[in-house]
Each structure stands twice: as structure tokens, then as C-alpha cells.
Chains A and B, each alone.
Chain A
Amino acid sequence: MKNNNTSRRDFLRASGGAIGAAWVGLNWPAVAAAAQHAHEAAAGRIDHEFKVLDARRACDVAAIAAQIVPTDDRPGATEAGVVYFIDHVHAGIYASAKADFLAGLTAFQAEFARLHPDGGQFADLDAGAQREYLKSVEATPFFGQMRFLTICGLLALPSYGGNEHKLGWQLVGFVDQHAWQPPFGHYDRDYPGFVPYAKAPQS
């Protein structure tokens, strides 16, 4: 993809075609979820236009995020649209960090390519190999930044482009509401009230 302004549909097409069927196969549940999102995006509900990342970069960012918060029987970074968050914030709230972020990503991809001279990119690896590879780079600032962005993409206000359908909040059991009343949880339900102590000897 030459165009930075890549749509989700293009992203999927690029992932499946130019990047390799292996990634799509191994990430099928995620891709299926993403396809559903693409459908919703087409219906105009969610902004799935890439503003910063090209498809190759988006694939690696999505794959790293999907390892940080993987999908199992509950949604993960993929379903929460973390890749869109990471894309959008670098054209918005973190625009000033865009150059540093892209430099880190480029260096990540270059190092991966150096260690994998036979071609392909990180996103092409199977999930187990991705995990192994990320363990080898987990102390790098770029991985730290990806972890930060993934968590933010999962749990920030949906208006930033991630946390789609509040899936991230559902995952961690958080409900954003402007008023609550006690009891707030299990343990304060039957609290009998504060029992005062006997007066302490004055020190």
C-alpha cells in the first residue's frame, strides 16, 4: 500500500494478499471480528480510516497489540480496535510523538528483517513465534511504548478510536457512569458501621 490513508477493508486485503495468508489463517477469529468492524465502518459508525500507518506497519502494530492483550474466549486488543487507536492518536492527541513512534516501529521492523533474511514481517509469524520474538525485545523502549499504547487503546474513551463498543472496559469490568450509590462492592454490602476504639494512652 502506498497510500497512508488506508481503510480497514484495504488493511485486511493487504494482510491477506500482500502480506500472506498465514497471518490471516492464524488470526482468523480476530480477522473475522475485524471484518465485522469493517462492515460497521462502512455503515459509518466507526472511523476505520488509517491516518498514519500504512498497511505493512498496521499489520505489525496490530499483531504486537494482539500479543500484549491476546484474544481468547474474550475479546482482546484486536476486537477493541487498538490498531486504530494507535493510528489515530498519532494524528491527534499524540501527534507530536508521531515521528518518534514511527522511528521506533521502523527500527523494530528493520531488526526483525535483519534476523529474518528470508523475508516476511513480524505479523507473518505464528502466534507462538511472535511471543518468543517479543520476549526478546520486551525490554526495548519501543515495546514499552507499544504496551502503553495498547493498554490505552483498550481502555481510553472510545472517542480516541480504540475501546470499540467499550469492549476494553467490559473486559476489565469497568463501567463509566457519573453517579453510583453504595454498596459499591461485595465487601461493603453488610458493613455494620465503624466501631470506635477504647481511648489510647496519650504518648
Chain B
Amino acid sequence: MSPRSYKPGETVDFVVVGSGAAGGVMARELARAGFDVIVMEQGPRFTAADFRHDELDYWFNNALLNSPQASPQTFRRTAEETAQRVKDFPALWYARMVGGSSNHFTANFWRFHEVDFRERSLLGAIPGTSFADWPIDYAELEPYYTKVEWDVGVSGLAGASRFDPPRSKPYPMPPLPVKSSGVLLERGARKLGLHPFPAPMAIASVPYKGRPACAHCGFCMGFGCEMQAKSSTLYTMIPEAEATGRCEVRSESYVFRVDVNDRDRVTGVTYFDRDRREHFQPARAVVLCANGAESARLLLMSASARNPNGLANSSGMVGRNLMFNTYSEVHAIFEHELNEYKSVQVTRIVHDFYDSDPKRGFYGGGGFDSRISLNPIGWALFAPPASRAWGADFKSLIEAMPRAMVVATHGTSLPLESNRVDLDPDLKDAWGLPAMRVTYKDHPDDLKFAAFLQDRGLEVMQAAGAQQAWKAPITEATGSPHLLGTCRMGNDPATSVVDRYHRTHDVRNLFVCDGSSFVTSGRGQPTMTIQALAFRAGEHIAGFARRNEI
């Protein structure tokens, strides 16, 4: 069936705002359940043929991103500072296009563990933070993780990680072939008694559901997949939603207000089309899947006389508890060539340090993986230590790039109410709308744990026989593509924005489901869980609609 096109002004059952990891899943689930759906997407629609191996344009000219020119942001560490405009690269970044960040993500797709959902109960309160349990547990999400693996497409080896939570089904595809970096990580980690395992990736290792297998071109992170092997919603959920004949994806349609009537019921959304003409799209219900930065901003921009602090914000939590995931790196150079520029980013992971251990003296959990951190420009820019930043020493270092690898860590970020997205009081974007203001300062434990993991990564590289290995300086975060926590789930309307089914506590026919729903950060690589949440929410929301409970 060909994609549906709704008439201007025609009321649909659902408007889904955002077509990325969550929005794509939501659209397919609601359309398959028999509802009329319009997906609003800010950015353009590309095809695989549009994607290029152009590191300069993609990484250093924001070709796919919310660019700081058109979609400016300001950044500050604390509310006492005046936020400054971010210049070259957005603080909170995402791919602004149909499929969203599922186009340019790295595609690390492991499940959260049971502990992620109930850590507050296990560890107790952490003073000064809004550390809390999720209102759902792993068992409740497990069937939807399985759905992600099979419907979206994940390659991996079930049972390979001794730390993995229980699963109801194996992966549908075998893991991708190991790279030299994966072999070395595994070698070093096993020597130290750790338990590395093949990385689960949302990349087809074999032909899958009409998509070809990965060709190992090496341009995953930051790039759109020209093979359609990466399981982006652009190639998976979106076409399947359109195939129902009930879903229209309206690209270059920038929603800037969710409209409500005087009974606090959503009536639809107002948006700019590609020519910046304003339109109102009526809907019986609205689901925000615009990502952990933009969903919160949209609710705040939807403030009115009735809701002066923003829509669905009686708790004051919209935009707050912004979390990234801490990150640190170890660089290593070996005797022989690895050629890390080939194939997918990650092939082996270590999760022996996943659980927080009070004996360490600080909160934190996570893991590390083997990879090349970026393509040639990025590696040359960021990998060298300060003492070898230019000149003959620099040159000899970059000549060793084929023998280099990176251990990248992924860890927890504690939720803090002071870390937030809100509206800049002065700066406007290219459409005249309030720019996003970001306030973020890492909790000290987050930085301590990033350093702890980095030390473990260094030991592994040394055990693997690295000729040289060095730690990249750990600095306070100034941004992230992991956009989490800003419309947190919870049972208590006083401290959370959405309930356990992603319905906003304040507005019965308004839902939010994306990274903003997270209560805690997990240990990184959030997209798998975002999609599991979206499958679960889609099923429940469809049920509510069918039972007239919206």
C-alpha cells in the first residue's frame, strides 16, 4: 500500500512528533493497530543514496544535525551563570531528519540490566540527586526488547555475556565479524579475568527483512548508512508504518506548539512547513517522540495563560534531570595493523563493572568497548596527547593510525534537577522560536566513575600488549547525543511528567515517549531501551484508544 496523505485540516487519531528511534516505532505500532497517524518531522527525508563518506561535512559542518546556526543553543554549568551561545557544534545533538538519530547512531544495542530499573531501592538515596526507581522493571520490558531485536534487527550472540539479563529469545542475526580491536580487547580482558563478549549491534550481519548485510565500509557513527544495513527507523519502522496505508510522514514540518482547549485536552499541533507557513494539524491525541531535548522544549514552548510554566508541567520537572552518559577514552597503539577504519565501530564489550559497588566509595556503573573513536579527521584531531598535538611528533603519531585503537567507556550520569533544558530568554532560532538553553554539570561521582573505568581500560590495553597507551583527559561534559530524563516517568505526579504508560499526568490525551522518559541514565547506549519503551508504550496507547480511555 502506498503512503497515506491526509487532507489539510483533516483530524487524525494520532500526531506523532518526531520520526526517530521512538517516533518510528510509535508510528508503526499505532498505524498497525488501525489508527490514522501523521508523523511530524522537523528535518528532510533522505534516502540511502544521499549518504556520503564526507567526514568534514557530517562531523565538522553538522550536515545531518540540528546546526548551531539554524537551531542555536546556549550552555552554562549552573543557573548562576549566563548561558553562552554554543558556536561550532550543538551541546545537545541529534540527526534532524526522517529517522532522526537512528540514522547516525553507532548502533550499540544491548539491553539494560535488571539493576538499572531498581537501583534506588538497592543502593538507597544519593543526597542532592533525584535518583529513583523506574515505575516499570526489566521483566515488564523484556518482551519489547525482544521485539526490538527481531522487528528492528539486532545482531548479537545470546548468552555470550555472563552479565546479561534473562531473555526470551536469541538474537535474529549472528554477531558481526570481530575486528582486530575486538580481538585485542578480548585478549587483554580475559588475561585480567574479565568477561568480554561480542557487541550486540543494530546492524545487519546477514541479509535481514529485505535489507542487505553490512559491507564494513566503516562509516557508521555520525553517518547515515548507504547500505541500509544499519537498522535505522528510516529503513525499518517508517516504511512499515507507511505500508499500512494509514501513516503519513510529513517531513520538514517543525512543530512548535501543542495546542490544548479550555478543558486541558490536546486538540492538535501547530507547525511550520518547509516554507515557514504556519499550519494547525488537528488530532485526537498527540505523542511526543521528539527526543530528550526537543520534547521538553516543545512542552515548554506550549506554555499558555492556563499553563504558564509549560504544558504537562505541574510538577515543574519538564526539562529537568537531564542526563547524558559519562564517557572516557584510552588510546593504544600496537605492533601490527588493526585498520580500525574498516567495518562497524564496536565488536567487543566488557561489562564486568556494570553494577555500582559501594566499596569503590562513589556511585557509578558501566562498561567499555573497543573501537576507533572517529574517522581519520576526528582521530587526528582528538586522539593525540597535548604533548604531541603538532609537529614531527604529531605526524609520526598519525602515521601510526592503522595500528591504533580506542577503548571507550560508557557510564552512569546521576539525575540532578539542576541539570536541565529550558528556553533561552533572549536567543531565538531561525524560525523566531526560543532557543534551547542547556544547564549541565556532572555529579562528582560521574567523573570519578569515568576515571575508574578509564583505568580499567588502560590495564586491559597494557595486558593486550599495547606498545603505547594513554588516557585522554576527562573533562566535564559540555554536551551529548544521549538526551535523557527531561520528562521522567513516575507514579507520583508531583515528581514526574509521565506515568508508567507514558501518558502525561496533566493531559489525558498527550503522551511523551523517548529518551526523556528515562528515570536513570542506564550505562549508556540508550537507543535500544528507547525503542523497547516505544514498543511497549505503543501497545498500551493503542489499547487506551481502542477502549476509549484517551
Contact = CB atoms under 8 A, between A and B. Distances in A.
Contact of A147 (B184, B197, B336, B389): B389
A187 B355 contact: no
B69 A176 contact: no
A177 B215 CA distance: 10
B395 A72 contact: yes
Contacts, number: 149
Given A72-B392, A179-B217, A188 B183 contact: yes
B390 A68 contact: yes
Q: Is the interface of A mostly helix, strand, loop or mixed?
A: loop
Nearest to A97: B88
Interface in A145-203: 147-148, 151-152, 154-157, 160, 168-169, 171-188, 191, 194, 196-197, 199-200, 203
The number of chain B residues touching the other chain, given as a range, is 35 or more
A174 B180 CA distance: 16
Contacts of A173: 337, 339, 399, 401-402
B338 interface: yes
A5 interface: no
Contact of A186 (B56, B187, B338): B338
Nearest to B402: A173
B292 to A, nearest CB: 29
Contacts of A134: 390
A78 to B, nearest CB: 12
The number of chain A residues touching the other chain, given as a range, is 35 or more
Contact of A197 (B175, B195, B380, B392): B195
A199 B401 contact: no
Contact of A155 (B162, B186, B377, B395): B377
A184 B216 contact: yes
B178 A191 contact: yes
A185 B218 CA distance: 13
Q: Is the interface of B mostly helix, strand, loop or mixed?
A: loop
Contacts of A131: 391
A183 B544 CA distance: 51
A95 to B, nearest CB: 11
A31 to B, nearest CB: 19
Given A96-B69, A152-B60, A155-B377, A184 B226 contact: no
A186 B337 CA distance: 6
Contacts of A22: none
A70 interface: yes
A114 interface: no
A160 to B, nearest CB: 6
A169 B390 contact: no
A182 B205 CA distance: 12
A122 B249 CA distance: 56
Contact of B61 (A74, A93, A171): A93
Contact of B216 (A174, A182, A187, A194): A182
Contact of B179 (A76, A174, A188, A200): A188
A182 B401 CA distance: 19
B182 interface: yes
B56 A157 contact: yes
B390 A196 contact: no
Contacts of A72: 392, 395
A155 B183 contact: no
B338 A184 contact: yes
Contact of B376 (A138, A155, A160): A155
B54 interface: yes
B341 interface: yes
Given A68-B390, A72-B395, A155 B380 contact: yes
Minimum-distance CB pairs A-B, first 8: A185-B180, A186-B336, A187-B180, A173-B402, A200-B162, A179-B215, A156-B56, A185-B338
15 contacts: A69-B398, A70-B391, A72-B392, A74-B395, A74-B399, A138-B389, A151-B377, A152-B377, A160-B56, A174-B401, A178-B226, A179-B216, A184-B338, A185-B342, A186-B180
Interface of B: 53-57, 60-61, 69, 157, 159-160, 162-163, 175, 177-180, 182-184, 186-187, 195, 197-198, 215-218, 226, 334, 336-343, 355, 375-377, 379-381, 389-392, 394-395, 398-399, 401-402
Given A172-B379, A184-B343, 20 more contacts: A70-B392, A72-B392, A155-B380, A156-B55, A157-B55, A171-B399, A172-B380, A173-B337, A173-B399, A179-B215, A184-B177, A184-B340, A185-B402, A187-B184, A188-B178, A188-B180, A188-B182, A191-B183, A194-B186, A197-B162
